[in-house]
């Protein structure tokens, strides 16, 4: 039978509600590993190292890039973000659904990797840019200059929407939660070509 896990990627503008949807998946779907990203950006109030992100220096991050220790990485708003390879491979070997919150650059890198056959992808966004601005302002963690930067980045990210398997317009949070859980459960059925061939061979001989 199939032994390897699979990957579920969430991307979309900052403020679209990805973190809330991730928490819903973690609470409702069994055997899920949330891949904690490594970043060089400063820690925000209330965040914890090793829980929200692994916070490292720019020099440390660049050293790990050179050593090939990231599954994917990107430079966003002048800060590095990346996914460490070892814990992801360990979770896949344990048959888990590995859940990612990565930007479109990271998604593009992941889809060029050997794990692309295991990926189910979801782009999460708001119904409009004005609604995104409203949510960013309500969050209260960014000044106007940062909000403008995030909105500009969101415009650029939206150009990648058609590359994702699913589009989730997060206008009704409860409905979005239900849809996200359904997608996560379906993503657990994703298999790579090698494992499918092995299963067919096993199936014919039994």
Inter-residue contact 119 to 190 (CB < 8 Å)? yes
Domain ranges, ordered by start, for the chain: 6-35+95-204
Longest CA pairwise span in the chain (Å): 64
Cα gap 73→69, rounded to integer Å: 10
pLDDT of residue 1: 62
b/e map 165-190, b = 16+ CB within 10 Å: ebebebeeeeebbebbbebbeebbeb
pLDDT of residue 143: 85
b/e map 57-68, b = 16+ CB within 10 Å: eeeebeebeeee
| Residues whose CB is less than 8 angstroms from the CB of residue 65 and which lie 6 or more positions away in sequence, other chains included | 73, 82
What tens digit of pLDDT does each residue of 96-133 get? 999 999 889 889 989 998 899 999 999 999 999 999 99
What tens digit of pLDDT does each residue of 156-201 get? 999 999 999 999 999 999 999 999 999 999 999 999 888 999 999 9
Mean per-residue pLDDT, 31-58: 90
Mean per-residue pLDDT, 51-73: 90
| Residues whose CB is less than 8 angstroms from the CB of residue 179 and which lie 6 or more positions away in sequence, other chains included | 168
Inter-residue contact 18 to 102 (CB < 8 Å)? no
- pTM for this predicted structure: 0.85
Residue 204 pLDDT class (50, 70, 90 cuts): very high
Instruction: Look at the domain 6-35+95-204 and name its fold.
Output: Rossmann fold (3.40.50)
Cα gap 135→137, rounded to integer Å: 5
User: Is residue 73 pLDDT above 70, yes or no?
Assistant: yes
**Phi-psi group of 102: left, alpha or beta (phi > 0 → left; psi -120 to 50 → alpha; rest → beta):** beta
Residue with tokens 């050593």: 67
Cα gap 28→31, rounded to integer Å: 10
């Amino acid at each position: 039978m199939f032994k390897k896990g699979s990957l579920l990627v969430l991307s979309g503008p900052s403020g679209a509600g990805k973190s809330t949807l991730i928490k819903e998946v973690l609470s409702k779907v069994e055997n899920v590993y949330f891949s904690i990203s490594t970043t060089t950006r400063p820690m925000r109030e209330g965040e914890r190292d090793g829980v929200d992100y692994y916070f490292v220096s720019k020099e440390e991050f660049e050293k790990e890039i050179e050593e090939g220790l990231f599954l994917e990485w990107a430079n966003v708003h002048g800060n590095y973000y990346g996914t460490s390879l070892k814990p992801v491979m360990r979770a896949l070997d344990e048959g888990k659904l590995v859940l990612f919150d990565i930007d479109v650059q990271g998604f593009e890198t992941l889809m060029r990797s050997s794990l692309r056959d295991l990926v189910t992808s979801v782009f999460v966004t708001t119904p409009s840019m004005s609604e995104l601005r409203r949510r960013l302002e309500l969050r209260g963690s960014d000044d106007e200059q940062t909000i403008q930067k995030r909105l500009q980045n969101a415009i650029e990210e939206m150009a990648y929407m058609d590359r994702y398997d699913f589009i989730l317009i997060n206008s009704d949070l409860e409905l979005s939660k239900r849809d996200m859980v359904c997608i996560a459960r379906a993503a657990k059925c994703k298999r790579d070509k090698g494992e499918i061939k092995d299963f067919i061979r096993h199936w014919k001989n039994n």
